[in-house]
Structure 1
Amino acid sequence: MTTLRFEDGTVHVGTDDDGDDADADVRAALADVPSVEADPRSGGYRAPAMRYAAVRDALDAAGIDYDDRVAAALDSPLPLSTTYDLRDYQRAALDAWLDADAAGVVELPTGAGKTVLAVAAMVARSVPTLVVVPTIDLQDQWIRELETEFDVPVGRFGGGEQTQEAITVSTYDSAYLRADDVGGDFGLVVFDEVHHLGGEGYRDIPRFLAAPARLGLTATFERPDGAHERVAELVGPRAYRLDVDDLAGDHLADYEVRRVEVELTADERETYDEAQETFVNYLRTSGLSMQSGSDYQKLVMRSGNDPRARQALLAKQRARDVMMNSEAKVDKLARLLARHREDRVIVFTASTDLVYRISRRFLVPPITNETGTKERREILDRFRDGTYDTVVAANVLDEGVDVPDANVGILLSGSGSEREFTQRLGRILRPKADGSTATLYELVSVETAEERVAARRR
């Protein structure tokens, strides 16, 4: 009889004892399944584990009997139940995902309860589940949530631990290392912050997993580089989407974004204009338009052996530093912090140096990629309990961290990424007990390239 086996991140379709006619039937049945290849070493056929469901469906459609040795582990029932009462949009998202054969991406804004949705999906399937997350902080948060909700042990891949259970939470890095070993053990995989699969290396994770049920969670599915199309191939297309404005007022806080324009000082203007002129003059003769990330990479590569390209690259960085870290921004920040001294404030920057400069001037705790895990948790715990009313951070609070409630965000500097902007806005949108409106201030240096950066992210 034809057999299906999981082997090292692949599904093997064995036809050794079935004879030439049976082999021909299997070959014909699998002809339209992507990535299926003949296996000359062991006979039969082999496909990436992610094609398991398609292989099974193709054999069923052709009326071919087979011994499915993969399904025993994937479909092993788990006694899961939840006390969560889903909101109407969470129920709609779950139903849409189930209607899409339990394979696809749900896009909901930060603070909309994507973890709750995932718990409901796990209950709906009640099979062994692997949850994949980008950071150790988020892994700890998921494990606490799942251990509280389910009366089953929760395993961990990452943070120095490799313990597998029927429900296991892994970092993306650990999943990349383990997927080809454990890919036949889970019937459902949940990818939190699923846009990370757009990176080339991480794409092997879903390829090596046989799980027919796949749920991707994100606040911002589409990527400017188009890599979300690959995510859709690996996890499933977008099954459901709501944005911030769909939920503001009813399920998230009402909000307003205030753009605050600031002027460069005379010295800053001179430095900026000189640096910008050097950069633009180089572009005129370089054949680069800087309309895409690939042009920037070309400039970086040229700077290794072309003095003019290096001069242009350094000038671009100088101009960027001036416009993003101007004195007027820090002065405006002082006035905003005074205005909101009774509020919970997160200050966002793109510069670690600026974080420490603000921390020293205003005596607020800093969080950067240099901040240790223990210290970061202590700062956020004190922000949560009200000991601190303000924190300043460089990028590290954009995603993958359980950030306490705040109602004011001050964006001093950032990239042109819509995802980054959405993540930062989401940090202040959890509903407030008093029904108050959240406010995000966006400080922009006028008559600089930052005006275009701000327009792109909006």
Structure 2
Amino acid sequence: MDRGKNSDGFRSIEIESRYRSDSKRVVADFYIPLLCNAVSYSRAVGYFTSASLQLLASGIDSIVGGGGRIRIIASPHLSPDDVEDITRGYDRRLVIERSLQREMTNELSSDLLDGLSVIGTLIAQKRLDLKLAFVDGQFPIGLYHEKIGIVRDRFGDLVAFTGSSNETIGGLVNNFESVEVYRGWIPGDGTRALRLEADFDGLWNNETENLTVVDFPAVAKERLVEIARERGVSALIAGTTAEVTDPDGSAGTLRPPASLQPRQYQKDAMVAWLRQRGRGTLKMATGTGKTKTALFAAAQVANVENQKERPLVLLIVAPLQALVDQWIDDVQLFGVDAVGVYESSNTWLPVVERRLASARLGRRQVVVLVATNASFSGAKFQSILSRIDIPLMLVADEAHNLGSATYRKLLPENAAYRLALSATPERWFDDEGTEGLLDYFGPVAYELGIEKAIYELKALCPYVYHPRLVELRPEEYSFYAEITTKIGRMLRAGQSTDSVDTSSPLGALLRKRSAVLGHALGKIEALHQDVDDMRNEWFQLIYCAEGSSPRDMDDDEGTGQRQISEVMSMVGGEMGLHAHTYTSETPRRLRAELIERFSGGDDLRVLVAMRCLDEGVDIPDAKIGYLLASSTNPRQFIQRRGRLLRRAEGKTRATIYDYIATPPAGTPIDFTVERNLMVRELARVNEFAKISENYHETLEVLRPIKMQYRLMDL
């Protein structure tokens, strides 16, 4: 078998549990075959040199040729003078940056320049990312000396290794080394491999105690790319044909690719917005292509401005890093490399400043910035916004998030063009925020509801809906009744749930009662039956209740069983289905990997989500959803339904299971309070049911509960 073709994955090659220099050639017998079958390579080492990439060239080439990524964390190389400067109190990041610049401007041998050219090529191709690690402690700076390697193949199989070698010629070849290897598919190895992967992700995200991990300085990256260009490298790595590009990205203008044509409703939305003089809101159902519609509109604006010999700054603001990454990919389809504005400002700030300066000088027609809400609201980015003196277009994705008083006052008044995107621009119980958003962005220019999107325009998949009524257990109901009684007293005393502060006593009770309903044990049993019925299907999402179940009235944080743990134990353990959690704590790079594995349809069957996969994440293949808990906020369940209705090849309809906790039949309780609860719960259920293909079936399921609470008119 040709090991370099990256075709059959890790299981097709012989991988031993240990390699040692007395019996094995570690590079030839382990590294090269492993990397030749890999799509990602993550390495944390004490020392790293460019020569090591040359040594591993055939394996690196396979990763790059297959569209994979390489991540490396290493200690900075510091001279005694550098260490002394840090001891004296100099900013260590500036000292490290100075040290790297010095190393790359000194007289270098041809071999070293070739090695640096390899790194520069990979950085320009966005296939390699570097970070630096150092130890925090009693001394100003300590050397990070751990060695971890994480490799995955295209089937999602994991190999993790640890051992004595650094990523240097000496470590890989000249020294006497040993490496311990853990294969993810081998019993006993899998847990260790996943632990090492989690350790690396913690390092990469600077979440490891006593260590600081920082981005490789932007100025040093630029020098590496410059070295690659100076040496004329378009194919320094065997088989790589991509040219080294401008380190600041494409300087072209926004233009849709020939293969991408807007659908008629997208054209209608774009025209409606332009008729409002480039201001307004698109209220379009989740999954109908708001992102592409916005970029078609931005391309029109850029064309107009460029014809007048004026550049355009396109600023896109999105709530989550995952959405920022998706926008960057979509913008690239339109011919421009966007700057991601999130995490450390040391990474994005100099690039943004250079591109804006280039635009002012007429050297760049479009500058595209994509920022998270958090970075957008930061002082450094706000300072940049205030100084923009060329045409600016602001696109707000999931615009309802910017409706709070804090965000509204930061929206740039110098934005000539303003476009808000949201399936639900109305803010829940916040009329002032909703009005403020519409005042700033402009009124709704185009509206596309979900029913029209499914049945008339065929933009979304139809779906079947199965509500599951789950009775609370006696002990759950007793606790629930106690909370409800206290809520009833507060409501009778004149308090309202319409605008309650979540941190108030009433807000705490409402959250606690919602947690009791969301974590009802009967839901797990009902879920088991439904998942078992669907066990042979792919593309399944399970939405779990947030946090943990409360134990008693004093347990405001919820310290009981985590539902997501129960579900993973049942689905991934007892039922033996390949599942993985997807939560707000999941590292960003792992999220992207999980979505890719899930979408492949041959590896990861189930994603178990909590506080994630609500807004904007693009997983069109998902077709079966289990809603163990949803808030009464309509935005959340509308977003979750939208995740399941996107069209994909081979997908004709979606299936949604919804688990609704109810009091045990015949148990007396304050009828008015309980009816108010069921009004809200059934409003959500009715919203799901009325557009489903099996509406009449759901009516029969809901009839008993509607009759019990006199809600037949819903």
What range describes the TM-score normalised by the shorter chain of this pair?
0.7 to 0.9
Deviation at 1:328, TM superposition (A): 1.3
The alignment status of 1:417 with 2:597, answered yes or no, reads no
Structure 1 segment 375-386 matched on structure 2, within 5 A: 375-386=590-601
CA distance in 2, matches of 1:313, 1:376: 32
Change (3 A) 1:95 1:316: closer
CA distance in 1, matches of 2:407, 2:284: 22
Q: Is the 8 A contact 2:523 2:659 kept in 1?
A: yes
Change (3 A) 1:420 1:314: closer
CA distance in 1, matches of 2:490, 2:280: 45
Deviation at 1:241, TM superposition (A): 0.5
Counterpart for residue 495 of structure 2: 288
CA distance in 1, matches of 2:594, 2:679: 34
Q: Which range moved further: 316-325 or 155-164?
A: 316-325
**Which of 95, 113, 128 in structure 1 is aligned with 2:271?**
95
Deviation at 1:315, TM superposition (A): 5.5
Structure 1 segment 5-404 matched on structure 2, within 5 A: 79-83=253-257, 84-126=260-302, 127-150=312-335, 152-160=336-344, 161-162=348-349, 163-164=351-352, 165=355, 166-177=367-378, 178-182=381-385, 183-206=388-411, 208-224=412-428, 225-226=430-431, 227-249=433-455, 250-284=458-492, 286-290=493-497, 292-294=498-500, 296-297=501-502, 300-301=503-504, 303=505, 316-341=510-535, 342-352=537-547, 353-363=562-572, 364-386=579-601, 387-404=603-620
CA distance in 2, matches of 1:254, 1:238: 26
SS in 2 for 1:143: helix
SS in 2 for 1:80: coil
> Deviations 1:308-363 (Å, cap 9, x if unpaired)?
xxxx7765555333322112111110111112221421111232321122112211
SS in 1 for 2:625: strand
Q: What one-letter code is carried by the residue in structure 2 that aligns with 1:85?
A: Q
Q: Which range moved further: 95-104 or 332-341?
A: 332-341
Q: What one-letter code is carried by the residue in structure 1 that aligns with 2:540?
A: V
Change (3 A) 1:319 1:139: closer
Q: What one-letter code is carried by the residue in structure 2 that aligns with 1:289?
A: S
CA distance in 2, matches of 1:204, 1:403: 33
CA distance in 2, matches of 1:275, 1:450: 13
CA distance in 1, matches of 2:391, 2:469: 52
Larger Rg computed on CA atoms: 2
TM-score (norm 1): 0.74
Q: What one-letter code is carried by the residue in structure 2 that aligns with 1:340?
A: M
Q: What one-letter code is carried by the residue in structure 1 that aligns with 2:472?
A: L
Q: What one-letter code is carried by the residue in structure 2 that aligns with 1:171?
A: T
Gaps of 5+ in 2: 1-250, 303-311, 356-366, 548-561, 573-578, 664-673, 688-714
Q: Is the 8 A contact 1:279 1:313 kept in 2?
A: no
Q: What one-letter code is carried by the residue in structure 1 that aligns with 2:467?
A: R
Q: What one-letter code is carried by the residue in structure 1 that aligns with 2:339?
A: G
SS in 1 for 2:617: coil
CA RMSD, aligned part only?
Answer: 2.3
Change (3 A) 1:87 1:400: closer
Deviation at 1:146, TM superposition (A): 1.1
CA distance in 2, matches of 1:365, 1:96: 42
SS in 2 for 1:347: strand
Deviation at 1:235, TM superposition (A): 1.0
CA distance in 1, matches of 2:383, 2:512: 45
Deviation at 1:455, TM superposition (A): 3.0
Q: What one-letter code is carried by the residue in structure 2 that aligns with 1:205?
A: L
Change (3 A) 1:316 1:219: closer
CA distance in 1, matches of 2:427, 2:510: 25
Query: How many equivalent pairs are there?
Result: 366
Q: What one-letter code is carried by the residue in structure 1 that aligns with 2:645?
A: L
Q: What one-letter code is carried by the residue in structure 2 that aligns with 1:375?
A: L
Q: Is the 8 A contact 1:415 1:453 kept in 2?
A: no
CA distance in 2, matches of 1:185, 1:202: 23
Deviation at 1:80, TM superposition (A): 2.8
CA distance in 2, matches of 1:193, 1:229: 16
> Deviations 1:153-190 (Å, cap 9, x if unpaired)?
42232232223241221222222232343343443111
Q: What one-letter code is carried by the residue in structure 2 that aligns with 1:355?
A: I
CA distance in 1, matches of 2:512, 2:301: 53
Change (3 A) 1:90 1:347: same
CA distance in 1, matches of 2:634, 2:490: 28
Deviation at 1:264, TM superposition (A): 1.5
Q: What one-letter code is carried by the residue in structure 1 that aligns with 2:638?
A: T
The alignment status of 1:407 with 2:623, answered yes or no, reads yes
CA distance in 1, matches of 2:421, 2:407: 15
CA distance in 1, matches of 2:253, 2:509: 61
Q: Is the 8 A contact 2:620 2:646 kept in 1?
A: no
Q: Which range moved further: 393-402 or 243-252?
A: 393-402
CA distance in 2, matches of 1:254, 1:314: 38
Q: What one-letter code is carried by the residue in structure 2 that aligns with 1:365?
A: H
> Deviations 1:387-430 (Å, cap 9, x if unpaired)?
11111111211114333521111111111111111100000111
Q: Is the 8 A contact 1:248 1:255 kept in 2?
A: no
Q: What one-letter code is carried by the residue in structure 2 that aligns with 1:320?
A: S
Deviation at 1:103, TM superposition (A): 0.4
CA distance in 1, matches of 2:529, 2:313: 53
SS in 2 for 1:219: coil
Deviation at 1:131, TM superposition (A): 1.2
SS in 2 for 1:365: strand
CA distance in 2, matches of 1:170, 1:315: 36
Deviation at 1:204, TM superposition (A): 2.6
> Deviations 1:370-392 (Å, cap 9, x if unpaired)?
22223322322221112111111
| Percent identical | 28
CA distance in 1, matches of 2:282, 2:682: 26
> Deviations 1:276-328 (Å, cap 9, x if unpaired)?
223323443x43132x133x45xx44x4xxxxxxxx77655553333221121
Q: Is the 8 A contact 1:445 1:451 kept in 2?
A: no
SS in 2 for 1:440: strand
CA distance in 2, matches of 1:258, 1:205: 43
Moved >6 Å (runs of 4+): none
Gaps of 5+ in 1: 1-76, 304-311
Change (3 A) 1:391 1:453: farther
CA distance in 1, matches of 2:587, 2:648: 30
